[in-house]
Amino acid sequence: MSEIVLSLGPDPSKDLRAATNSPAGLTNLGATCYANSILQCLYMNKPFREGVFSVEPNVLKEQPVLDQLARLFAQLHGSKKAFVDSAPFIKTLELDNGVQQDSHEFLTLLFSLLERCLSCSNVTKARTIVQDLFRGSVSHVTTCLKCGKDSEASLKMEDFYELELNVKGLKSLDGSLDDYLSVEELRGDNRYYCESCATRVDATRSIKLRSLPAVLNFQLKRCVFLPKTTTKKKITSAFAFPGELDMGHRLSEHSQSELIYDLSAVLIHKGSAVNSGHYIAHIKDENTRQWWEFDDEHVSNLGVHPFGEGVSNCAAKSVQTEPVIHPSGSESVDAVAMGNHAGASQSKSSDSDIVDSVQTFSSSDAYMLMYILRHSNNGGEKAQIESGGINMENASCVDPQNGVSLPPYLCEEIKQLNSSYISDCEEYKAKKEFESNRITERRQEVRFIISEAPVQSLGELYFWISTDWLRHWADNVNPLIIDNHPIQCLHGKVPVSKVGNMKRLSAKAWTLLFSKYEGGPALAKDYYCTDCLFEVARSMVSADSYRDRRTTMKDLADAALAGKCLDGPLYYVSKTWLHQWIRRKNIDSPCEADAEPTASIRCPHGELKPEQAPGAKRVLVPESLWLFFYDTANDVKPDDPLVFSTFPLDSAPCAQCSAELTNEACSEDNRREIKLKQRQNHEKLASGKSIALFPLQRYYLLPTSWLSKWKTYVTASGKNASSAEPETLCNIIDVLKCEKHSGLLERPPGLIYKRNMIFQKSPNTDGLTIVTENDWKLFCEDWGGTVEKGISAEIEVSNCVGDESFLVSPEIPISEECMNAHDEANGEAESKRLVVKTSPEVCEDCIGERESCELMRKLNYCNEDICVCFVRGKEPPRSILEASGNIFEPDRRTSKRSKKTTFGNSINLNVSGSTSIYQLKMMIWESFGVFYCFPSPP
């Protein structure tokens, strides 16, 4: 049942919006939570939503971003689905779904784009809705402390759409605002040039709020730059903010009307690091006064508090309820500018002050705060900024929400989308009911057939049916036709050997099945096959006879292997074959392995192999056992006249094979002597011991790969004695020299001091190895080389800066004490450098050209597969480190105490030399289904 339902696809009704007054979510396309949170904040702002809906259709056609925003808002407004697809809007903005951005930067860029798009509208309030709702103004005031005048630049007003407040070292919004509006003193080298005083004077500088918008956004600067590490860190300290904020006393020119703001949205960045996290938004519905949590597709009701009822989470909680004083009279604006404003915890107020009770909230993840201006009529009349010149049409085919109706062109589109969605839900429901009914009918049919299937008496007519088909019929809603062919024998009847693959059905049950599903053939009770029955009986008798004979012969075979009872005519068989024949158990009839008891002792010429030949071990068996083997082989391969050869006791080994074996043995003895001589001549090279080197002594260079082959050859023994010989030295040496300059195409190995001696570093497989002059001459004699054509080398010890070479006698090893003494005698502290001089000299031009070509070949690859493994744990598994051995450092230390890592799945990715690291990262994320958010710092 569950598999059939799953085949119908996901149930669309599960995406149905819970209620008409419940907000809808937005789909996360990978890393678009930052955009979803901002879009939800804008949509839940009723005046802004009305402004977008009031834009003319012809303007929307010319502005695709504005058009998609209006359609997105319309779906959030009237769609019956619990979440809306944000892909069309994100695609129009050309945003990368896999790259997380900062929500503050996104909001700033979006406002700028919307202002440009809305400027094309003829509807007054729609054209300036962004400026009317979100734009305020500030000025940077510089005041001369000598004459008391403000600078001319102080009169310049600057627009803002959000106030960026410091969080580091501050605990509340009040403190951050005081810090933002605080006065900076300009003294000493930082003094200000006053035009009125015509000299540099002490002054003060501060920010003054000139006008405030209807929607006041506070951007909390939680990301700070650390100069020492050149990284950014998120400040996760708790930050308090009130549910109600009085901004009237913070304006530079006191407003006659109250400027009380109510908290309407909190944008939250989850996560303790700058480079990882997730954005969600807590937003208040201004009509119902309910708070909602918007987490992409998921929307949850929080009640009347921004962080839910009874929140115990330390990251976000209600702190306390405090009395807040709303002054009715005028206060000194200069006191605010100078940072002397008394906070909300003031204990004294004038008689005309109004004391309210305001809740304060605290969060360690709050990233942006949104406050909305409270109107004095408390919603009795719409403020001018809400309605203005916007004339919304009442002809709406979608129920209004929060007093907002959709324009007709969007209403019709939403109506079609809802109709299509309801149709999909009903279609899915109908399919599910249809399949459920079919399954119920099938279950009833299966129960009925099973109840009628038993045969009541032996004389009653019955039919045979395939068990596999019955199982298929019972498990599938649409079974295939009856197929009884698998239970038929070659004679078209029912064999006794397949009785376990069939079931017996009554005539009534068979008739019901056959009439509905057809097929067949019908196999009645008298359709049993007597021919197959007799064949089975004969096989059983034959098997019993074979087992008895084989048991007797096995005793003779054991005696033959033990060298006993060897009377009468004797015959050779393979000793290995006879051991295997004895070990075979539960044999009812001869098998293929019984056909060739003499195959391994027969030479290519058809005669008996010499016993010294590989695999030619044999044993003598008596004539009775031999005749049993012969009869068995004829039963297995009756048409093969050369089933095996017969070798009586007096059979002579093949003369030709014996001669070849003797010659090969002589050649092997010669090779063994030659290898022994070479191992003795080159004892240190053969054993892999390091050779001490001395300056002013001639050495020769040989390819390390050739030496490895030579060492394998001379040390091979037993089965590996026939290893391939190394190439001749003439060819090897010629390859090491460039044709153009006749220089050396490989650099000599590096040298190190070890135990007061000079040794060469372990050479690479493709590098060169230093050998002594004596070794070189002996190699030339044995492997076709010419002494004069060799690559000679000498070792020199010189200063790094080098006035003169410091040369040491070849008989005396160089010690560090000797070198230090020489340095002190010359009053120098330079270290010595070991140099290998070669003849011919190293051809750096050809080597550089070859390395460049090799590098280009490695970089210019195309359509190559790489394996990416998903590893959980502190250290990657050893198998991965070994597979990537040329990538990781050879001396890389790994923790022996690290926890055991576990392998996840692995994938192969097709990459080219032009694939960037960023593209590879996106490919890996997409392949492993990684859609976590990584915010960029503000």
Pairing of strands 83-84, 25-26: parallel
Show the low-confidence residues of the chain (pLDDT under 50).
312-315, 318-355, 376-397, 800-831, 885-903, 931-938
How far apart CA 373 and CA 388 sit, in angstroms, is 16
- pLDDT for the residue 871: 74
- pLDDT for the residue 759: 85
Catalytic residue (one of 278, 305, 341, 375): 278
Residue 348: how many other CB atoms lie within 10 Å: 7
- pLDDT for the residue 600: 83
What confidence tens digit (pLDDT) does each residue in 127-136 have? 999 999 999 9
Among residues 497, 498, 502, 486, the alpha carbon closest in space to that of 535 is found at 497
- pLDDT for the residue 900: 42
How far apart CA 841 and CA 794 sit, in angstroms, is 11
| DSSP letters spanning 486-542 | GG--TTSSB-GGGGGGEEEEEHHHHHHHHHHH-EE--EETT-B-HHHHHHHHHHHHH
* CA dist 261 → 250, 417, 669 (Å): 13, 38, 105
| DSSP letters spanning 370-382 | EEEEPPTTTTSS-
Strands (E), 277-315: 278-284, 291-295, 298-303
The predicted model scores a pTM of 0.54
- pLDDT for the residue 544: 77
Residue 141: how many other CB atoms lie within 10 Å: 19
To the query of whether residue 846 is one of the catalytic residues in this protein, the response is no
Catalytic residue (one of 33, 41, 117, 780): 33
How far apart CA 215 and CA 261 sit, in angstroms, is 8
- pLDDT for the residue 85: 92
What confidence tens digit (pLDDT) does each residue in 883-919 have? 554 444 444 444 444 344 444 577 888 888 778 887 7
* CA dist 826 → 806, 816, 823, 829 (Å): 12, 16, 5, 9
- pLDDT for the residue 876: 60
Three-point CA angle 286, 290, 293, nearest 5°: 105
How far apart CA 611 and CA 626 sit, in angstroms, is 20
What confidence tens digit (pLDDT) does each residue in 567-613 have? 788 888 888 888 888 888 767 777 777 777 888 888 888 888 888 78
To the query of whether residue 33 is one of the catalytic residues in this protein, the response is yes
Which residues fall within 8 angstroms of residue 741, CB to CB, at 6 or more apart?
843, 845, 846
SS3 263: strand
| DSSP letters spanning 59-120 | HHHH-HHHHHHHHHHHHHHH-SBSEE--HHHHHHTT--TTS---HHHHHHHHHHHHHHHHTT
732 sits in which H/E element: helix 729-735
Taking each continuous run of H as one helix and of E as one strand, the counts in the chain are: 26, 36
Taken as a whole, the chain contains a residue count of 938
